[in-house]
Structure 1
Amino acid sequence: MSHNTIVSYQNDLLQFMTFLQTFEITSFNDVDRKVVVSFLQQESEQKKATSSIVRCVTSLRKFFQYLIEEEKVTADPMQLIDAPKRREHLPEVLSVKEVDCLLNSPDTAKPLGLRNRAILELMYATGLRVSEVIGLKLADLHLSLGLIQTLGKGQKERIIPIGDQAIHWLERYLNEVRPQLLKKQRNNYLFLNHHGRKLSRQGIWKNLKLEVQKAGIQKNVTPHTLRHSFATHILENGADLRVVQELLGHADISTTQIYTHLSKKRLADVYNKYHPRA
């Protein structure tokens, strides 16, 4: 699993441990369904998102399965616990016009503006997660072939084609800006901050928010919004769902299927084109 997933599971279990200590429960054998339900109710009362509570149920379920296997407990209280149903949440997506405004927002006459343009072009061209973007190294670029490689969730490698526009801005960044940021240091990561160190997730979020504001876009735009927009736009232009699954690095196609809800225009076009009485 990815590092972020492991940390999330760890935090879930630590919160559960704190809950048990509050009620002076010192043995996992004393944990029953009532205790777990009380904990989940507390999480809900603290306005935790449904998705967080669902993940918490998964964390506890796996943990008690482990305790059973290790013969640390005699009964599994999670067998009678049902996770709350996830609410269907359609991600925010930018229109093609909004993407154009965002991509043209950075001031490319300035070094960091040119770097930001290269980052935005890359994210929209490939649908990379922000963690994948900051993890890119120089050796991962194969621009002459129009390809990049990346490590996704669970350290799964995938190779992604990249378009001419993104290649253009990446080459400009590599030739004009990166040597300035590097300041004679050694660093194999692709995107650097003004100190010449690896750019952070927070750095990309901060820069994106500024560019969104400059572009006059009113939507709540995150790095993942560009990933959603990438997937939606290529589906609307006729891409196969399996291809999109590969490009995004989804292990299960059910994760990719959410984008079919966002591509009503494409569905309508197909219906009008192929149905004999449309």
Structure 2
Amino acid sequence: MSKKPKIRMYSKKGINVPNQSNQEELSIRTLFDLFLTEKSIEGLSERTIYDYNVHFDYLMNFLGEDITNTQCNKELFRSYIAYMLHEKGLSPVTANVRIRTIRAFLRYCYLNDYIDVAIHEHFKPVKTKEDTLESFTPEEIKMLLSKVDEYSYKGFRDRVIIYVLLDTLVRCSELVSIKRKNVDLKAGFITLESNDTKTKKGRSVPISNKTLKLLKEYIGITDDYRSEYLFLTYEGELLSDNTVRRSLAEIGEKAGVNKRVSPHTFRHTGALFYILNGGDPFSLQKILGHSDMSMVRKYIQMTNTDVKKQHNIYSPLNNVFK
């Protein structure tokens, strides 16, 4: 395995850096702080800002030290991509999450004249296999639920969470932000407020009768906490998305499910089951909260077995030989 590239490879001692003496010299750490400030003003969620910081730290670890805007060039960032893929062995999907953050940052620097060259246009997310999203089978969901102790507060809460994730297709950040007042048990809807969604657009998601029954019981149990939020810890504090992720991962380990047991996997699974059960992609798009139908398509990738089952039901020959 080759050694990790050092920042000196990209300094004036190595690759010749274009002369940008007409610009004020600023560290990229300082520029990234300015970038985050602008993103905060735009209304990005705390979770997204946190993720941006994490992704930037990965870049800084690669560089080994802070650099200035005058040292930035496309070769540096292409080397960073190669490092993630070939030395760290990251999957294209993981690498792309970090690449998108860095591209957004460099675009900000270019548009605000901190760098002269549109470096972000010289590297793009790497190609990934189309079928990258995992889904659970019905049997795996039953295995997960069988390992939840519904007679304890935490276990019952986690059971309700699994039902809500699978039934409403909400993101984890949206789940923990749900307020009690947003749950309409009579109409069968949960309202997601605009400040709590990834797209900053509010939406209402329907709830099935099975989930409604559990929610009604859970709301009754947590009434004494006097909290405005729906999902709480045993002490009555607001549940964090990290706690939800850890709890689901622990359930998956107990159940022996050899897939990533996460809120997002339930979202993928729910979207796929929605279509397999006869739902249409347009109402699914609205429930998911996506403005682009291409994103919906990624959520409903089917296995050959899924396609075979659907074909048996909807084969054109069924209209001929009824």
TM over 0.5: yes
RMSD: 2.8
Structure 1 position 120 matched with structure 2 position 136: no
1:168: which partner in 2?
213
Amino acid at match of 2:240: S
Query: Structure 1 54/140 Cα, relative in aligned 2: closer, same or farther at 3 Å?
Result: same
Distance 1:60 1:259 in 2: 25
Tell me the CA shift for residue 211 of structure 1.
3.7
Instruction: Give the secondary structure class of the aligned counterpart of 1:144.
Output: coil
2:104–2:120 CA contact under 8 A, matched in 1: no
The yes-or-no answer on 1:50 pairing with 2:119 is no
Aligned length: 270
Task: Check if 1:95 corresponds to 2:137.
Answer: yes
Give ranges in structure 1 of 5+ residues lacking alignment. Answer: none
Match of 1:269 among 313, 316, 320: 313
Residue 151 (structure 2) pairs with residue 106 (structure 1)? no
Aligned to 1:6: 49
Contact 2:110-2:117 within 8 A present in 1 as well: yes
Could you say if the C-alpha distance between residues 109 and 254 of structure 1 is closer, same or farther in structure 2, counting changes exceeding 3 Å?
same
**Paired residue for 2:26?**
none
Higher relative contact order, chain-length normalized (CA < 8 Å, sep 6+): 1
CA drift at 1:14: 4.3
TM-score by length of 2: 0.73
- Distance in 1, Cα, partners of 2:183 & 2:216: 10
Q: 1:71 aligns with which of 110, 113, 120?
A: 113
Are the structure 2 counterparts of residues 56 and 200 from structure 1 closer, same or farther at C-alpha, using a change threshold of 3 Å?
closer
Query: Structure 1 residues 273 and 141 mapped into 2: Cα distance closer, same or farther (>3 Å)?
Result: farther
Q: Identity of aligned pairs, percent?
A: 26
Unpaired segments ≥5 residues, structure 2: 1-43
> What is the Cα deviation at residue 2 of structure 1?
4.1
Corresponding residue to 2:289 among 241, 249, 269 = 249
Which deviates more from structure 2 when the two are superposed, residues 221-230 or residues 263-272?
263-272
Name the SS for the 1:149 alignment partner: strand
Q: Shift of residue 144 of structure 1?
A: 0.6
Q: Which residue of 2 aligns with 1:232?
A: 272
**Residue type of the alignment partner of 1:135:** S
Contact 2:182/2:190 (<8 A) preserved: yes
Aligned partners of 1:241 and 1:256 also within 8 Å: yes
Report if aligned partners of 1:104, 1:117 keep a CA contact under 8 Å in 2.
no
Separation (CA, whole Å) in 2 of partners of 1:273 and 1:238? 19
Assess, with a 3 A threshold, how the Cα gap between structure 1 residues 271 and 67 changes in structure 2: closer, same or farther. same
